Structure 1
C-alpha cells in the first residue's frame, strides 16, 4: 500500500476517487491530506474531489495518459530498469548542446523516435541534448511552455517510460540530457492547481497572468512543490541538468531567492546521487549574480543563456533592426559581448529606454550559453524563419564559426547544423475553442503592429502549422545542406579536440573590426578567427596570424600570406598556433 498525500489547505473535505470508489482523506498539519492505506499501485488511475467538486488530477501527477483533463495514473519509478550505472555527464565547460523539440524532430514525434536520431547527434559531436519542455501540456502538440502537470511527461510523446528510455539511450551513447522546465507560470488549459491551494498570487503579474506564489502566505509549500519537481526530474528520470525558463519572470522577494534555494537543493542531490548536475537559466536581465556563487551574493546557477550574444550576432549577420535588435547591429556590439560577456552591462539601451545590465567582470565563458538560433528566436518570428531563410549558406558558415569558436558554451537548434529550411512555427492544441481563438487572434494582432497581414500569420491551432515545423531529414544529403553539415562537424571536432579552446577566460580576448568594410577578427589565446561579412574579397593585415596555420576555412580561397589574411566574400578562417 502507498501513503498518499495532497496539499489542499483551504479544503473542508478531500476524497480520493479510484476504481469507482470514493475514500475520504484525513486532514493533517499544514493543510496536507493523507490516506495511510491508499489503494494506489503502479498503473492505477485516480483523482481527487475537493468539497464535492472534481475529480481533479493530482497536482503531482506522475502520468496523465488521457491528457490534462483526464485522471492521474500512479507510477512506481523503481520498476524501470536503467542501464546507466556509473554514468557521469561531460562538464558543461566542454559541452556542445543541441536543443530539440520532441514533437517535431521526427515524423513520429515521440521519445522513442528521438532515440533513432541520437547517432546523428553523436556523429555531429554533440555532448548534451536539451529537450524543450515535456511536462504534460494541453492536446497532443505544442511547445510545452503552457504545461500544467509538471510532474508528468507528455502522454503523446510516450509518457514516463518513454522518457526514461530516451534518457537511458542518450547515456549509453555518451550524451548528457538537459530538460527545459518552466517555473515562472503555468498554462491556463487544464490548470487545476488553484483549486487545491494558493499556488498563485495576484500581488504580481507576468505576461501570462498571475505570478507563482513564491513569497506570500503559504508560499513555503509552493516553493517545495517546485523544488521537489526539480529533484524528481534529476533523480527519477536521470536528467543531468535543467534549463530554467525566463527567470526574469520569477518574482520572489524572499531573503533566500527561489533560485538560490533551487541551487542548494540540486547541490545536495548531486552529493546524494554522486552525479554532476547543472542548472542553466534563461534570463534577459544581464545580471551576473545569476551565475555567481551564493557565498558572494549570487544565485549559484551554473550558466545562463546569453541573449546579447545571440542578438549581436544575428543583427550583425542579417542587418535586422526591429524590436530588441534596435540595440544591436554594430560589430562593436558583438566585440563587446565576446570580451565582456554582455553588450549591455550598465549601458543605455535604446530599446528599453534605460540603462540595462551589470558588468560580468571575472565571469568565465563557461557561464554563458551562446547560439545563433534557438526555439524562441526562430519560433517567435511571425513566419518561424530560421537563419537559413535569412542568410546565405556562406554567412551561415560564418555564424556557425563564431558560435563554435566563441568562449561561450555553444548551442545549436535542431536542424541548424544542415541549414534546415523547415520553419519552426508557434503551434498549440487547446481543447477550449475560445482559448484557441484568443491565442490565434492575439498572435495576429501582435504581428499586425509590425506591418504583417493578419491573415498571413499561421494559425497556431491549425495542425498544418505543426506539421510544417517537422524537420526534413532528407535535406542532409542535398546541396547546400550536406556541405553545411560537414562544416559544423569540422568546427565541433576542432572545438573539442584543440586544447586552446579549454581557455574560456574573457579578459585575454581581443576583437578587431571595421563596420564600414564589414570584417571582424577575434583573437583568443592561441586562436584567430577572421570573418569577412562583406560580399567582396578582402585582405586583412593581422600580425597575430603570422605564426598560425589555417585549420579551417569556409571557402577554398581562404589563405594566409605572412601576416595578411586573404578572405573571399562572406567567408571565415580559423587559425591556431
Structure 2
C-alpha cells in the first residue's frame, strides 16, 4: 500500500489505512519527531517528520493501530523535549496527566444507536446544566463520572428536560476543576471516566439496562466503553435515545492556568519568558490562564477545528461559548464570526449560545 500524501494529512495523529499520519503546527521548530512504543521512543532519522510548508510537520508511520501511544519531540531555539499532540483524541491513564501520552483512536468504531438525532427547536429547549465532576450519586465515588450522568438520564427525561449542557469536559491540569482551565481541548477529562475494572463492569451493566428499558440493544461489553472518549460518547448516545440533546460548554477565550512542559504552551520551543512568543497565546491573562492569540490564523483554525471535531466525532447538538465578550475584548471578533459561520454551515440545526456580558462596560 503506498504511503499517503503528507501534504493532505489531517492535523494531529490520525489512523489511516496501513498505519497513522501525524501532522503538527510548529513554525519555529528546527526539527520535530514522532515517537512511541513503536520505535522505543527514539529520536533519529526514522522518527524525523517532514516540513511540508506553513510551519507544518508531517509523517506516516505504518502498522499503527487504535490505542497506540505517541508524543511529538520538538527541538527549538529555547529548549527541546516531548510535547503532547494538541489535537490528541485521548490521553493515557498510565502514565497519568501531565506525564501522559497521546493515544491514537478510531472514533468510527463506536456503536451509535441513532444514525441522526435532531435537537428540539431553540424556543422549545428545556436545558439542564450540570458539572460531571460533582454528579456523583453513588457513595462508591467521590468524583462524578460520565456513567453517573448516564444513570440519571431517564430521570431527566421524565422531568421534561430535552437538553443537557455539560460544563467543560476537556482535560484540565489541576486535581479538581469546574472545567474552565482546560489545556488539551480535544481530549476528554480522564477523571470523569471509570478505569477500575470492577466498577466499570457494573457501570456497563447498568448502562445496558437503561438502553434495553428504552427499547435499544445493549453495548457489546466492557471493551466498547473502556476509555474516557467512548464513555463520553455513551453519555451522548443514551441522551439521544431518550430524546435529549447535548450541548457542550466550551472555553475558547483562554486556556489554563497551569501549563506543563509537554503542553501546547511554547509548543515550537521558542525561547521562554515572553508569553507573546508562546505560539498559541498572548501575554494577556484571564481567569488564571492566558488569552489565545486570536490574531494568528493557525490559532483561529485550531479553535474552529476543535468545534467541528466535537460535532463530527461526538455528535453533539450545539455549544455554549464561554465569555465571548473576552474573545471580543482581545481582538477575536473575526474568530467568533468565522467559528459560528463554519458551524452553521456544517450543522444548521445545531444550537449556538454565546455568553456575552461585558462587565467592564457597566457603570
2:134 maps to 104
Partner Cα distance (1:209, 1:155) in 2: 21
1:309 maps to none
Partner Cα distance (2:73, 2:124) in 1: 49
CA contact (8 A) 2:174 2:258 kept: no
- In the alignment, which of 21, 28, 41 is matched to residue 10 of structure 1? 28
1:2: Cα distance to partner? 1.6
Partner Cα distance (1:68, 1:126) in 2: 37
Closer, same or farther: CA 40–6 of 1 in aligned 2, 3 Å = farther
| Bigger radius of gyration | 1
1:407 maps to none
Closer, same or farther: CA 185–220 of 1 in aligned 2, 3 Å = same
2:272 maps to none
1:77 maps to 107
Partner Cα distance (1:156, 1:38) in 2: 32
1:193: Cα distance to partner? 1.4
2:55 maps to 31
Q: How many residues get paired?
A: 281
1:86: Cα distance to partner? 2.9
- In the alignment, which of 182, 189, 206 is matched to residue 286 of structure 2? 206
5 Å-filtered alignment, 1:80-91, equals: 80-91=110-121
2:244 maps to 175
Secondary structure of the corresponding residue to residue 196 of structure 1? coil
Structure possessing the higher relative contact order (Cα contacts under 8 Å, 6 or more residues apart) = 2
CA contact (8 A) 1:153 1:160 kept: yes
- In the alignment, which of 33, 36, 58 is matched to residue 85 of structure 2? 58
1:200-251 per-position Cα deviation (integer Å, ceiling 9, x unaligned): 123x443435421011xxx111111000100011111010001111111114
1:268: Cα distance to partner? 1.8
Closer, same or farther: CA 183–38 of 1 in aligned 2, 3 Å = farther
1:465-503 per-position Cα deviation (integer Å, ceiling 9, x unaligned): xxxxxxxxxxxxxxxxxxxxxxxxxxxxxxxxxxxxxxx
CA contact (8 A) 2:162 2:244 kept: yes
- In the alignment, which of 253, 265, 268 is matched to residue 194 of structure 1? 265
CA contact (8 A) 2:83 2:264 kept: no
1:140: Cα distance to partner? 4.7
Q: Give the unaligned 5+ runs of structure 2.
A: 1-18, 194-227, 269-278
> Does 1:128 pair with 2:163?
yes
CA contact (8 A) 2:294 2:300 kept: yes
Secondary structure of the corresponding residue to residue 194 of structure 1? coil
1:3: Cα distance to partner? 1.5
Q: Give the unaligned 5+ runs of structure 1.
A: 287-323, 325-348, 354-577
1:151-173 per-position Cα deviation (integer Å, ceiling 9, x unaligned): 00111212100000000000000
Partner Cα distance (2:71, 2:354) in 1: 34
5 Å-filtered alignment, 1:419-498, equals: none
CA contact (8 A) 2:129 2:166 kept: yes
1:77: Cα distance to partner? 0.8
